[in-house]
Amino acid sequence: MPIAMFMNKLATALLLAVASSVASVAAGDVHVARATWNPKILSPNTQTVWVRGHMYSVTWDASNPLASVTNPNGTLTLGKTGQQGVVTLSGGFPLADGSVQITVPSNIDAGTDYIITLYGDSGNTSDDFTIQ
Residues 6+ apart with CB under 8 A from 91: 73, 74, 75, 76
Q: What pLDDT is stored for residue 32 in this prediction? A: 56
- The answer to whether residues 28 and 52 belong to one domain is no
Query: What are the average pLDDT values for consecutive 10-residue runs of the chain, which has 132 residues?
Result: 55 51 52 70 97 98 80 92 90 94 97 94 89 98
Domain with 114, as residue range(s), is: 41-131
- The answer to whether residues 46 and 25 belong to one domain is no
DSSP state, residue 95: G
- The answer to whether residues 19 and 47 belong to one domain is no
- The answer to whether residues 12 and 66 belong to one domain is no
Number of structural domains the chain divides into: 2
- The answer to whether residues 13 and 73 belong to one domain is no
Residue 100: CB atoms within 10 Å: 21
- The answer to whether residues 90 and 55 belong to one domain is yes
Residue pair 123/117 in contact by the 8 Å Cβ criterion: yes
Minimal CA–CA distance to 120: which of 24, 44, 41, 16? 41
Interval 98-117: pLDDT, tens: 999 999 999 999 999 999 99
Q: What pLDDT is stored for residue 65 in this prediction? A: 78
Cut 0.75: pTM above it: no
